[in-house]
Chain A
Amino acid sequence: MKRFAPLILTALAACSTGEHPQAPSATPAAEARSAPIAFPSTYHAAPSGRVAVVGATVLTATGAEIANGTVLMAEGKIVAVGAGLAVPDGYATVDGRGKWVTPGVIDAHSHLGAWAQPETVEAVNDVNEMTDPNTAQVWVEHSVWPQDPGFDTAREAGVTTMMILPGSANLFGGRTVTLRNVPAVTMQEMKFPGAPYGLKIACGENPKRVYGAKGRSPMTRMGNVAGYRKAWIDAADYARRWDKWEKGSKADDPPKRDLQMETLAGVLKGEILVQNHCYRADEMANMIDIAHEFGFRISAFHHANEAYKIAPLLVKEGICVATWASWWGYKMEVYDAIEENAPIVHQAGGCAIIHSDDPIGIQRLNQEAAVALSSAWRAGMKIPKADAVKWFTANPAKALGIADRTGTLEPGKLADVVLWSADPFSIYARADRVWIEGNTVFDRADPQYRRHSDFTLGQAGATP
């Protein structure tokens, strides 16, 4: 455990990764007037050495499967990946023979920290601000408890990055946050530098049930849609008022900031990515029409169990599909879920993601992908493992807006790497070592790396 204190606290003065603003596409001036950088990331990668993993089968998540591969990491970045590369001087060698390497696992849909363990304890459940159908003003990062033991078990399973979402009780649940899975005391120490925010939108049964039960709108799907449209009308108006002030003399006082409208306007400006909980094909089509009406993009449909029914539409719109293979049947909107959902989207040329929405499931995204891949093979879709690995690495990175930094093993990308004991599509594979920016954050052979949560410390029966 002591090992982690210097890892987190040692700041690199010259580290560029720790200083990015949260909305990289916004101009500094715009941020200064409307949204000063709030809750900036204090995450810093510790200085990392040079590591060469040799002899493993490498799935790069760019479509390649490399036998007897070498992965070179230095200064937190991937330097080179290839078959049988010579290891340059100064690299510590890790024997990967008989093992497999993938990029760090990325979960596009997690509630870790916000709906923390012990999950039966209401005191640590801060995921749904169920007080109004529109709570776009809340930021889930303010609910994140970094001591959630679920972060530890996810890290032991190779998860290096995840997006935490609020909701789904509300039409607009609030802002998401993307975290690096490092042991930390504050959320800011985990916050992925430069990762764009997301806005959680929820379709369907959850918002209509929650508010219908309270005798207020929405209590139907048409009520849901009316609620979204009203909010976008208000947001467009808010954005116009700011634009007018911005383009004018700025002599008058600026409009008053409104946190709810600020988030929605951020979507209209393309700075905040829409992460839309939406199961049914017909509802996804409605949401696409709303996006067209108000001129924004949807980054990903989450859960999206009926994506297979409209795969060409989703491909045309460039919307990722984050889904499971196994979950179905717990409510009507998942009655038509099929294991082949992600593969069918993939085969249509789309961006398919296997996500968890679950503290147990996040530990086995590779296995869930294996279930989806198996269903593809059963159906005659010849998808190679080298492509299916993208479902829990490259594609979630794309949906989260961080694909330029992580998600594949390519030179220049962050050295987020997992060394698996076996083929990650095998039920028997376990993450043996996990690196985030070239730093070991988990090593199965070293008990110091297990269970860092303060909550589990000193508890009876807590495992080492």
Chain B
Amino acid sequence: MIRQMLMAAALIAAAPATAETVAIVDARILTMGPAGEIANGTIVMRDGRIVAVGPMVAVPPNARVIDGKGGIVAPGFIQADSTLGAVEVSQVPPSADRATHSAAISAGFDISQGLNPDSILLPVARLAGITHAVTAPLYDDRSGRELQFAGQAAVIDLGQQPEMVTRPRVAMVIEMGEGGAERAGGARGAAIVQLRETIADVRHFMRNRAAYDRGAGRPQPLSRIDLEALIPMVEGRMPLIVKVDRASDIIEMIAFARAEKLKIIVDGGGEGWRVAAAIAAAQVPVVVDPLADLPRSFSEIGATMDNAAKLAAAGVTVIIKTGSGVAHRARELRYGAGNAVAWGLPFDAALAAITINPARVFGVADRIGSLEPGKEADLVLWNGDPLEPLSRPLALFIKGRQMPLTARPLELRDRYMKAVP
């Protein structure tokens, strides 16, 4: 039965994308929008967008109808802090475009360029209900240890079309705390001073661009590419993703952002629960890995499975990720959210943390993250609780296109399972 449905889905996706009207009926719909949860409803998609969602929606006469069979429809999940689209095999550098060790470019590195829609990782992540990712650059420490910024992140979709970038340059990425200290020569204080100086350089460049173009004025240690890239960040228009875990590092970065009028997102935040009230007061979102419960470093002594729950309870906007910079293991996102629930995060909050929260924080909530009329039709029909390993997607749509629930690993499975009775 399931296999028949999968095959049907594959046939549909193989057909040319046409302006199609599709309705999923008889499903519990977790809209993550103002409509909340719909116990038994219908959702209608047309031309890539959601046109109606609710308990009493009439199915248009021309619609292809999918029987939800009492399953659950949820928005497609968004894996934050991912490298999807930018890597095939982590330890094969020519297959990875997620980091640069060039001394000439750091902040200017724009990961939205050079992505691969044919990556075999994208269908694998889709099998876990993921329709979008925040693809963020990593550091490459092979050289250029002084490198300050990893580059700029992008929101992408997993629809495997050439136009896979939902929104480029959504955030600048920097590692502070231990990692920042290492790059600044070995001390946290040095990293902060260096970051402040960089911001001053950018502001100086903005005021004296004409002189810079004439080859006059104060020498700039950063390349022009980097200086230009940092302008939206210093103007507070582009958020700065700050990778820190220690409670004191979080407090330090909140104060720094306030002084410099930056918008920041804390990534990691392993000890965030200890300073949750301050984070909430500063309205700083936190991207957490709920499974990070060990003192991996001296910056994460207080790491605990309760982190996401305590942050959310304090009023912090929580985004859940799994791992850091994951691509291959992106598919474990829903299990990270499920574990956060097991350790006290309300189910709705956990679902928000992998749908509408990242959409809002990364500036794409007008398009994705919840099931509302007018938004893109990025959604998944599940045969049960989407956070449970024993549940799986029965149908998945990206921008209204039904995607095949197949992937290279499943083809490998089918090639070899024949040999097993």
* Interface, chain A (partner B; CB < 8 A): 117-121, 149-150, 153, 205, 308-309, 311-312, 326-332, 335-340, 344, 347-348, 359-360, 363-364, 367, 370-371, 373-375, 377-380, 425-430, 455-456, 459-463
B338 close to A326 (CB less than 8 A): no
How many angstroms between the C-alpha atoms of A122 and B421 in the bound complex? Answer: 48
Q: Report if B294 contacts A (CB, 8 A).
A: yes
Within 8 Å CB of B416, what residues of A? 308-309, 311, 344
Of the 9-residue stretches B40-48, B108-116, B352-360, B387-395, which lies at the interface with chain A? B387-395
A121 close to B297 (CB less than 8 A): yes
Chain A, Cβ-Cβ closest to B292? A360
B294 close to A427 (CB less than 8 A): no
Chain B, Cβ-Cβ closest to A345? B420
Closest CB pairs A-B (n = 5): A461-B302, A427-B338, A329-B328, A370-B389, A120-B297
A426 close to B90 (CB less than 8 A): no
B328 close to A461 (CB less than 8 A): no
How many angstroms between the C-alpha atoms of A63 and B121 in the bound complex? Answer: 36
Residues of chain B in range 248-297 having any CB-CB distance to chain A below 8 Å: 271, 274, 291-297
Q: Report if B341 contacts A (CB, 8 A).
A: yes
Q: Report if B327 contacts A (CB, 8 A).
A: yes
Prevailing SS type, chain B contact patch: loop
A153 close to B121 (CB less than 8 A): no
B331 close to A336 (CB less than 8 A): no
How many angstroms between the C-alpha atoms of A460 and B409 in the bound complex? Answer: 44
7 A–B contact pairs at CB < 8 A? A120-B178, A311-B419, A344-B413, A348-B420, A364-B291, A367-B335, A460-B302
Chain B, Cβ-Cβ closest to A150? B294
Within 8 Å CB of B300, what residues of A? 118
Q: How far is the CB of B277 from chain A (nearest CB, A)?
A: 15
A326 close to B329 (CB less than 8 A): yes
A380 close to B3 (CB less than 8 A): yes
Chain A, Cβ-Cβ closest to B307? A463
Q: How far is the CB of B15 from chain A (nearest CB, A)?
A: 24
Within 8 Å CB of A427, what residues of B? 335, 338-339, 341-342, 387-389
Chain A, Cβ-Cβ closest to B407? A338
A118 close to B390 (CB less than 8 A): no
How many angstroms between the C-alpha atoms of A373 and B92 in the bound complex? Answer: 30
Please pick, from B301, B331, B390, B409, the residue contacting A461 in the complex, using a CB distance under 8 A: B301
A463 close to B328 (CB less than 8 A): no
Known: A119-B294, A336-B412, A461-B302. 5 other contacts (CB 8 A): A118-B298, A328-B409, A344-B417, A363-B291, A425-B389
| Known contacts A326-B331, A360-B291; A459 and B390 CB within 8 A of each other | no
Q: Indicate with 1 or 0, residue by residue over B380-420, a CB within 8 angstroms of chain A CB atoms.
A: 00000001111110000000000000000110110011011
Please pick, from B295, B342, B387, the residue contacting A118 in the complex, using a CB distance under 8 A: B295
Chain B, Cβ-Cβ closest to A375? B413
Chain B, Cβ-Cβ closest to A148? B294
Chain B, Cβ-Cβ closest to A347? B420
Q: Report if B2 contacts A (CB, 8 A).
A: yes
Within 8 Å CB of A425, what residues of B? 389-390
Within 8 Å CB of A379, what residues of B? 413, 417
B390 close to A340 (CB less than 8 A): no
How many angstroms between the C-alpha atoms of A327 and B331 in the bound complex? Answer: 10
B341 close to A428 (CB less than 8 A): yes
Q: Report if B26 contacts A (CB, 8 A).
A: no
Within 8 Å CB of B420, what residues of A? 308, 311-312, 344, 347-348
Which of B292, B297, B341, B389 has the most chain A CB atoms inside 10 A of its CB?
A: B389
B409 close to A337 (CB less than 8 A): yes
Please pick, from B2, B297, B342, B389, the residue contacting A371 in the complex, using a CB distance under 8 A: B389
Q: Report if B304 contacts A (CB, 8 A).
A: yes
Within 8 Å CB of A462, what residues of B? 301-302
Chain A, Cβ-Cβ closest to B271? A461
Chain A, Cβ-Cβ closest to B338? A427
Q: How far is the CB of A100 from chain B (nearest CB, A)?
A: 14
B338 close to A428 (CB less than 8 A): yes
How many angstroms between the C-alpha atoms of A456 and B301 in the bound complex? Answer: 7
Q: How far is the CB of B99 from chain A (nearest CB, A)?
A: 15
B304 close to A329 (CB less than 8 A): no
B294 close to A153 (CB less than 8 A): yes
Chain B, Cβ-Cβ closest to A423? B390
A338 close to B409 (CB less than 8 A): yes
Within 8 Å CB of B306, what residues of A? 463
| Known contacts A364-B339, A428-B338; A460 and B421 CB within 8 A of each other | no
A120 close to B341 (CB less than 8 A): no
Q: Indicate with 1 or 0, residue by residue over B48-92, a CB within 8 angstroms of chain A CB atoms.
A: 000000000000000000000000000000000000000011111
How many angstroms between the C-alpha atoms of A360 and B302 in the bound complex? Answer: 15
B295 close to A428 (CB less than 8 A): no
Chain B, Cβ-Cβ closest to A337? B409
How many angstroms between the C-alpha atoms of A114 and B296 in the bound complex? Answer: 14
Within 8 Å CB of A309, what residues of B? 416
Q: Report if B332 contacts A (CB, 8 A).
A: yes
| Known contacts A117-B294, A344-B416, A378-B2; A330 and B304 CB within 8 A of each other | no
Chain A, Cβ-Cβ closest to B87? A329
How many angstroms between the C-alpha atoms of A120 and B90 in the bound complex? Answer: 20
A332 close to B91 (CB less than 8 A): yes
